[in-house]
């Protein structure tokens, strides 16, 4: 019983609800837009065939309905029609996802032809519903008036059509339901076809996907820069501050040196943060990120030495010949790898090898695995960022413990030509 009642409510809502009323307004609007084309067709067809007669006039009006549609299709090729029709459909057609409908002008011939098909469909269905509303509703009201107590009208029809007292109101109700059902059917048809005809074309969808991919790549690039530069600085500052606090009274000289290192690290972090945040400005969104290269690697190693991390390096003498792009990304990879050593292994010795091998740059970082250290909330992005940097340059990376479980090894290889 509840299911039957629910279905009945759904049918009533589909025929008389807010959605049906808005779609009726949308269809009547289409009928109004059809009128100039229809009248022009009436004039043209009447000039070609001036014969009189009621039947000919009815046929002429029906024929004018179809001859007016090609003219409407031609005018719909104007780019601004797409935006106007899209806005009307979003407001009145009640489609499932109105945000997909365009509100801007057509930018390609594919979009224009889709708009022309939609415009013809809108005007044709609107003309039918508007015509049935203007003619059918008054006619059904007249027929129903005999049921409502209009004795003179009922006697008039009863004298000419015996039995009209019963069949007349039923016919009026049938006509009224036909108008309402036609409105619901054409409204549902337009709502179904609106996304396909007024939504983005395949070319527009592809362009939008490319724009989203570009924005996402820029956001990921900025996130990596912030994570590797500022994250490294904060990790170093935290360890240096902790060491200074422990020996503040027993070794004031060491504490003073640690505080000086904190000041230097913070100043460098502020400079890098300003550079990265500058990329967030709209006019610089596509600019290449500035930042340190392998030429500044000595400063990074000295900074780590103050935290107790000793790095045994093996650096190829030809690194200065690398392109700025590869050298910058290699520096960030080494920086993040050493930061992971600082976070997870503590003041443990590490080995770093950066070498040029034919047409690629190889980076290898090893450190002993010590006792597990507590991880910070939200961590674990460092290795993913290293992998993303390597992939962006068409390289690769591996990371993990050695077979005997005593050493952690990070290996990265980058083509020396970068992405070019």
Q: Tens-digit pLDDT profile for the chain (420 aa)? A: 456 667 888 888 888 889 999 999 999 999 999 999 999 988 887 766 665 666 777 788 788 888 999 999 999 999 999 999 999 999 998 888 888 888 889 888 989 999 999 999 999 999 999 999 998 888 888 777 655 445 555 566 555 556 555 566 777 788 899 999 999 999 999 999 999 999 888 888 887 788 887 777 777 777 776 666 666 676 667 766 776 777 777 777 777 777 777 777 777 777 667 766 666 665 444 455 567 888 888 887 887 777 777 888 888 888 888 888 888 888 888 888 888 887 777 677 888 999 888 788 999 998 887 665 444 444 456 788 888 888 888 889 898 888 777 888 899 999 986 554
Token readout for 415 is 């083509």
Nearest CA among 51, 114, 41, 129 for reference residue 82: 114
The widest CA-to-CA distance across the chain, in whole angstroms, is 121
In this prediction, residue 374 carries a pLDDT of 44
The conformational region for residue 398 under phi > 0 = left, psi -120 to 50 = alpha, else beta, is beta
Domain range summary for the chain, segments of one domain joined by +:
2-200, 208-415
Residues composing the chain: 420
In this prediction, residue 100 carries a pLDDT of 83
- Three-state secondary structure call for residue 349: coil
Q: What angle do CA 385, 391, 397 make, to 5 degrees?
A: 70
Token readout for 384 is 């993913």
Spatial distance between the Cα atoms of 244 and 141, rounded to a whole number of angstroms: 93
| 206 contacts: CB under 8 Å, gap ≥ 6 | none
In this prediction, residue 155 carries a pLDDT of 61
| Residue 176 buriedness (CB in 10 A; 0-12 / 13-18 / 19+) | middle
The torsion angles phi and psi of 345, rounded to 5 degrees, stand at -110, -15
Taking residue 378's Cβ as centre, other Cβ atoms within 10 Å add up to 6
In this prediction, residue 32 carries a pLDDT of 94
User: What is the separation of C-alpha 356 from the centre of its chain, rounded to a whole number of angstroms?
Assistant: 42
Q: Which fold would CATH assign to domain 208-415?
A: Heat Shock Protein 90 (3.30.565)
Any idea what DSSP says for residue 222? Answer: H
Spatial distance between the Cα atoms of 336 and 352, rounded to a whole number of angstroms: 13
In this prediction, residue 1 carries a pLDDT of 46
- For residues 407, 410, 413, 416, the Cα torsion angle rounded to the nearest 10 degrees is -110
């Amino acid at each position: 019983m509840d299911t039957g009642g629910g279905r009945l409510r759904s049918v009533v809502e589909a025929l008389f609800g807010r959605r049906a009323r808005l779609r009726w307004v949308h269809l009547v609007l289409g009928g109004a837009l059809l009128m100039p084309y229809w009248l022009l067709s009436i004039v043209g067809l009447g000039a070609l065939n001036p014969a009189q007669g009621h039947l000919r006039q009815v046929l002429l009006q029906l024929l004018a309905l179809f001859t007016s549609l090609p003219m409407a299709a031609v005018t719909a090729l104007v780019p601004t029609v797409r935006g106007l029709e899209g806005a009307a459909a979003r407001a009145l057609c009640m489609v499932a996802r109105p945000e997909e409908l365009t509100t801007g002008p057509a930018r390609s011939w594919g979009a224009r032809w889709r708009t022309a098909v939609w415009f013809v469909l809108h005007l044709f269905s609107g003309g039918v519903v508007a015509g049935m509303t203007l003619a059918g509703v008054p006619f059904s009201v007249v027929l129903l008036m005999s049921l409502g107590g209009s004795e003179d009208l009922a006697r008039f029809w009863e004298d000419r059509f015996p039995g009209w007292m019963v069949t007349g109101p039923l016919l009026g109700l049938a006509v009224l339901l036909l108008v309402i059902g036609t409105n619901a059917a054409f409204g549902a048809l337009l709502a179904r076809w609106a996304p396909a005809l007024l939504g983005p074309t395949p070319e527009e969808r592809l362009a939008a996907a490319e724009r989203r991919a570009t924005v996402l790549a820029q956001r990921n690039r900025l996130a990596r820069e912030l994570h590797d530069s500022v994250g490294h600085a904060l990790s170093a500052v935290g360890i240096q501050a902790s060491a200074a606090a422990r020996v503040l009274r027993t070794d004031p000289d060491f504490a003073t040196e640690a505080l000086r290192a904190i000041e230097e690290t913070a100043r460098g972090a502020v400079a890098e943060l300003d550079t990265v945040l500058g990329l967030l400005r709209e006019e610089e969104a596509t600019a290449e990120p500035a930042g340190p290269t392998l030429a500044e690697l000595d400063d990074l190693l000295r900074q780590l030495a103050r935290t107790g991390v000793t790095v045994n390096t093996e650096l190829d003498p030809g690194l200065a010949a690398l392109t700025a792009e590869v050298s910058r990304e290699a520096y960030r990879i080494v920086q993040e790898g050493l930061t992971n050593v600082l976070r997870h292994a503590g003041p443990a010795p590490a080995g770093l090898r950066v070498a040029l091998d034919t047409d690629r740059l190889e980076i290898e970082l090893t450190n002993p695995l010590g006792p597990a250290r507590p991880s910070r909330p939200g961590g674990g992005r460092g290795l993913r960022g290293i992998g993303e940097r390597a992939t962006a340059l068409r390289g690769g990376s591996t990371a993990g413990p050695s077979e005997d479980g005593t050493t952690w090894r990070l290996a990265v290889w980058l083509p020396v030509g970068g992405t070019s």
